[in-house]
Chain A
């Protein structure tokens, strides 16, 4: 067993920032990550960091733009925290040596971006994420923070009280990919999840293969609700054949979208008469697909993004990376011809429910970055708001976990504040598949006898304890118990000799989600996706790992990841089926209107003894000095 004050799971932007902040508070901190830090997908972020740094701009304007972009589903305390902290955090990166692009006077450059009323997107060419990630990893090396790299976190070690809000997190269980060792990691103060997005739920995504939503799935199964999972951002400009991202910066610098007839579609068909190509991402993605569905797409698949008129000098200065990506992955030289682009899955607005200090409803468990949902982005994230989210909330979660007092959060977590029960009519039972087959890998990825203790079992084990269950057990015991359960799970996966392989299940889930739970959603398609997911879950009970080796067994890791993908895919689909309105990135064929009367609330899903329980909590529109009134959203 390894022991630290604070353990951070994941080493992308949020994880690194959290570790640095925890250490600055004096904590002994360690990062556990399935990838070496510089391999994190934060490195692929291109566009920039929104921060109100200049004369004529203000954090209030940034907050207003963010709230409008969220289609009024963001929580004001979280949004205002982001916009207030972002300038300081952005300059902190510069003080750490980050190579921002520069203006003539030597200050950091900013560019216009979608949905912003001021050009406040602070950038480093079209490789802002790469520069940010490496700058922060450099700081980690400088500070000598311990990194357990290529350790795959299997589960959280959480106590088992009846009500999630009473539970506490004492550490994690992780698997050393290189050696096959399973070990407990005891966290004396807290565990911070910073595991990034769930892009692998889809097959056309900008996300890395490692983005499988592990943190969200683990927190969910430990009792933390998932919030607003149906809101998936589809980025309007990704390369058709691979899903590689073409930054919004291209449009920010003046790039234009054309349909097959060479029409400037955003204006020609009135999708956004003012902002045009720089409307928010949900608007532009829908516009492109509408064009394609109307037969005005190129090869019935994509539209053109043209930046040739910007001139080679400006392109190479500010967007050079895009030239490389377009050439290498689509064989198109954007200096000579327009780039083919189509919408692709890019970002999950939802995730682990946290407050504006990064804390979840389970004591000692925190989350930050894309895997968390405070909620800053509501139903649609603005371009340039993800990188500040990483550094602002990464820092807050890290400092908070290490004991810094950030004041009382205005956002409540779990069922502590106002909430209402929800209902959704599903064609099949969602959640865990109970299998009586001795040989089956139970859907929880655990042996049936080591599953989530049932209520009866919980009650009896509590009764046996002399303290009547007021205090579960010591943290060490909780971690040890979790290690035993994970060892059994791996044993079971490894000893099974035949059955289904994860790749098959994974690709079916990705296909179904891409087909039915995409930019445009309709009731029947969503129901079909739930059926497909049920089938995938049933097949997963028969999953086995073919590679017998304990050395660098990626077969095993991907099998476990697939289980996480299943949980997240189901949550996304359930939320999408339940929400009968059109808001932000969530478009429903049957419900073409935003319905503030009924739906100004967050979709919550809790893992309740093996099945998802749907409930809702209200959105907080009251900011520090003003209340944000929902208005008609047009660009």
Chain B
């Protein structure tokens, strides 16, 4: 694997392409984040031991968005403050669960797997879209502000309506299609390791909605397919098992007015994606495909 990585990320197609094709970038970033986190944790530990409070007394200060259309006193959105006892390795989700189970059982948020695979608990934490279950409290400035995902209708507290997100997903025909299945029920389609590697990152999407919520274009254009749906289309368009006819068909969906061309390469989606999917790069690659398709020079 190549370890050549661009030093800066610019909204430049060739850079984006390099990023799409070299996994180490994501790894390097992860490494960097990890180092940063360790440093911050160490810093905190130092501060904590310097403070005179006993460690079991240390509490994290959370400001949590509250709203309930049905309950008097919660119909006007507000922030509630919680002071949650901290233990090493505690995540934002742990803190929310603690607050709900010990202080206010009406505090409402989606969560299920606790391990960054179900995509239920994407929220707006300290001004950025994150999965609460994989966000360490020690990485955050206090008070930790927890809000529902922006640009989506709030149902209650931290729960947003995901219907629009699901509709955009469905708009790109998010399922495998081919005219060329093997006859035998025990004969698999062949796929090269390289091709599987090419679509691998795109298959990691967990439908959490963080990218869609972070995208300024999607915020202003309800018809824009958005990064998650375009990534889903990429996953199939680039899969060699579907065949070229199907790819044509998929490109027609993607190159329409509210498809790939709406993307302005702000990289917000790529920045917030909890699964490190190079969304912007995928969208750029599809733009190039669309141009090639329509010019038909080759």
What is the interface of chain A, defined by CB distance below 8 A to chain B?
Answer: 35-36, 38-41, 43-44, 53, 87-88, 91-92, 94-97, 99-108, 125, 127, 130-131, 134-135, 138-139, 141-142, 178, 208-210, 241-245, 313, 316, 324-325, 327-331, 333, 501-503, 507, 545-555
Q: Please name all residues of chain A whose beta carbon is closer than 8 Å to the beta carbon of B205 when the two chains form the complex.
A: 134
Q: A36-B162, A38-B119, A138-B175 are in contact. Are A99 and B106 (CB under 8 A)?
A: no
A sample of 8 inter-chain contacts (CB < 8 A) reads: A35-B118, A41-B113, A95-B188, A96-B176, A106-B190, A142-B173, A244-B115, A555-B105
Is A550 in contact with B70, judged by CB distance below 8 angstroms? yes
Give the one of B104, B174, B193 with max A CB within 10 A: B193
Judged by a CB distance under 8 angstroms, whether B189 is at the interface is: yes
Given contacts A106-B192, A325-B115, A546-B106, could you give 12 more A-B pairs where the C-beta distance is less than 8 Å?
A35-B118, A41-B112, A92-B185, A94-B189, A102-B196, A141-B175, A328-B134, A331-B41, A501-B105, A546-B104, A547-B108, A555-B105
Q: Please name all residues of chain A whose beta carbon is closer than 8 Å to the beta carbon of B204 when the two chains form the complex.
A: 127, 130
Q: Please name all residues of chain A whose beta carbon is closer than 8 Å to the beta carbon of B157 when the two chains form the complex.
A: 552
| Shortest beta-carbon distance from B142 to chain A in Å | 20
Q: A41-B113, A96-B176 are in contact. Are A91 and B71 (CB under 8 A)?
A: no
| Shortest beta-carbon distance from A388 to chain B in Å | 14
Is B108 in contact with A552, judged by CB distance below 8 angstroms? yes
Judged by a CB distance under 8 angstroms, whether B252 is at the interface is: no
Q: Please name all residues of chain A whose beta carbon is closer than 8 Å to the beta carbon of B199 when the two chains form the complex.
A: 99
Is A138 in contact with B187, judged by CB distance below 8 angstroms? no
What is the interface of chain B, defined by CB distance below 8 A to chain A?
Answer: 1, 23, 30, 34, 37-38, 41, 68-71, 89, 100-102, 104-106, 108-120, 134, 155-157, 159, 162, 166, 170, 173-176, 178, 181-182, 185-193, 196, 199-200, 203-207, 236, 239, 241-242
| Shortest beta-carbon distance from A96 to chain B in Å | 6
Is B186 in contact with A53, judged by CB distance below 8 angstroms? yes
Is B236 in contact with A97, judged by CB distance below 8 angstroms? yes
Q: Which residue on chain B has the smallest CB distance to residue A134?
A: B203
Q: Please name all residues of chain A whose beta carbon is closer than 8 Å to the beta carbon of B207 when the two chains form the complex.
A: 36, 38
Q: Please name all residues of chain A whose beta carbon is closer than 8 Å to the beta carbon of B166 when the two chains form the complex.
A: 36
Q: Which residue on chain B has the smallest CB distance to residue A331?
A: B89
Q: Please name all residues of chain B whose beta carbon is closer than 8 Å to the beta carbon of A87 when the two chains form the complex.
A: 186
Give the one of A92, A105, A178, A552 with max B CB within 10 A: A552
Q: Give the CA-CA distance A330 to B207 in the complex, in Å.
A: 24
Q: Please name all residues of chain A whose beta carbon is closer than 8 Å to the beta carbon of B115 when the two chains form the complex.
A: 44, 242, 244-245, 325, 329
Is B185 in contact with A97, judged by CB distance below 8 angstroms? no
Is B119 in contact with A95, judged by CB distance below 8 angstroms? no
Contacting residue for B70 out of A96, A130, A325, A549, CB 8 A: A549
| Shortest beta-carbon distance from A335 to chain B in Å | 10
Is B114 in contact with A208, judged by CB distance below 8 angstroms? yes
Q: A38-B119, A95-B189 are in contact. Are A242 and B114 (CB under 8 A)?
A: yes
Is B112 in contact with A130, judged by CB distance below 8 angstroms? no
Q: Please name all residues of chain B whose beta carbon is closer than 8 Å to the beta carbon of A94 when the two chains form the complex.
A: 188-189
Q: Please name all residues of chain A whose beta carbon is closer than 8 Å to the beta carbon of B110 when the two chains form the complex.
A: 39
Q: Which residue on chain A has the smallest CB distance to residue B67?
A: A551
| Shortest beta-carbon distance from A151 to chain B in Å | 14
Q: Give the CA-CA distance A87 to B188 in the complex, in Å.
A: 11
Is B112 in contact with A333, judged by CB distance below 8 angstroms? no
Q: Please name all residues of chain B whose beta carbon is closer than 8 Å to the beta carbon of A210 when the two chains form the complex.
A: 112
Q: A208-B118, A546-B106 are in contact. Are A95 and B200 (CB under 8 A)?
A: no
Is B113 in contact with A549, judged by CB distance below 8 angstroms? no
Q: Give the CA-CA distance A107 to B178 in the complex, in Å.
A: 18
Q: Give the CA-CA distance A327 to B27 in the complex, in Å.
A: 12
The 3 tightest CB contacts between A and B, nearest first, are: A97-B176, A106-B190, A547-B106
Q: Please name all residues of chain B whose beta carbon is closer than 8 Å to the beta carbon of A131 when the two chains form the complex.
A: 203
| Shortest beta-carbon distance from A148 to chain B in Å | 13
Q: Give the CA-CA distance A208 to B193 in the complex, in Å.
A: 32
Q: Which residue on chain A has the smallest CB distance to residue B113?
A: A208
Q: Please name all residues of chain B whose beta carbon is closer than 8 Å to the beta carbon of A552 when the two chains form the complex.
A: 108, 155-157, 159
Q: Give the CA-CA distance A94 to B187 in the complex, in Å.
A: 9
Contacting residue for A108 out of B30, B181, B188, CB 8 A: B188
Is B155 in contact with A503, judged by CB distance below 8 angstroms? no
Is A142 in contact with B175, judged by CB distance below 8 angstroms? yes
Contacting residue for A546 out of B34, B105, B241, CB 8 A: B105
| Shortest beta-carbon distance from B256 to chain A in Å | 20
Q: Give the CA-CA distance A552 to B162 in the complex, in Å.
A: 14
Q: Give the CA-CA distance A39 to B199 in the complex, in Å.
A: 22
Q: Please name all residues of chain B whose beta carbon is closer than 8 Å to the beta carbon of A329 when the two chains form the complex.
A: 89, 115, 134
Q: Please name all residues of chain A whose beta carbon is closer than 8 Å to the beta carbon of B239 when the two chains form the complex.
A: 97, 99
Q: Please name all residues of chain B whose beta carbon is closer than 8 Å to the beta carbon of A134 when the two chains form the complex.
A: 203, 205
Give the one of A53, A100, A135, A138 with max B CB within 10 A: A138
Contacting residue for A39 out of B69, B118, B190, CB 8 A: B118
Is B105 in contact with A209, judged by CB distance below 8 angstroms? no
Q: Please name all residues of chain A whose beta carbon is closer than 8 Å to the beta carbon of B162 when the two chains form the complex.
A: 36
Q: Please name all residues of chain B whose beta carbon is closer than 8 Å to the beta carbon of A92 when the two chains form the complex.
A: 185
| Shortest beta-carbon distance from A454 to chain B in Å | 34
Q: Give the CA-CA distance A100 to B188 in the complex, in Å.
A: 10
Q: A91-B185, A242-B114 are in contact. Are A549 and B156 (CB under 8 A)?
A: yes
| Shortest beta-carbon distance from B260 to chain A in Å | 21
Q: Give the CA-CA distance A95 to B177 in the complex, in Å.
A: 9
Is B118 in contact with A41, judged by CB distance below 8 angstroms? yes
Q: Give the CA-CA distance A555 to B186 in the complex, in Å.
A: 47
Q: Please name all residues of chain A whose beta carbon is closer than 8 Å to the beta carbon of B119 when the two chains form the complex.
A: 38-39
| Shortest beta-carbon distance from B64 to chain A in Å | 14
Q: Please name all residues of chain B whose beta carbon is closer than 8 Å to the beta carbon of A553 when the two chains form the complex.
A: 106, 108
| Shortest beta-carbon distance from B45 to chain A in Å | 13
Q: A94-B189, A99-B196 are in contact. Are A43 and B206 (CB under 8 A)?
A: yes
| Shortest beta-carbon distance from B241 to chain A in Å | 7
Q: Please name all residues of chain A whose beta carbon is closer than 8 Å to the beta carbon of B155 when the two chains form the complex.
A: 178, 551-552
Q: A40-B118, A107-B188, A333-B34 are in contact. Are A548 and B112 (CB under 8 A)?
A: no
| Shortest beta-carbon distance from A178 to chain B in Å | 6
Is B118 in contact with A44, judged by CB distance below 8 angstroms? yes
Is A555 in contact with B175, judged by CB distance below 8 angstroms? no
Is A38 in contact with B105, judged by CB distance below 8 angstroms? no
Q: A102-B191, A327-B34 are in contact. Are A135 and B176 (CB under 8 A)?
A: yes
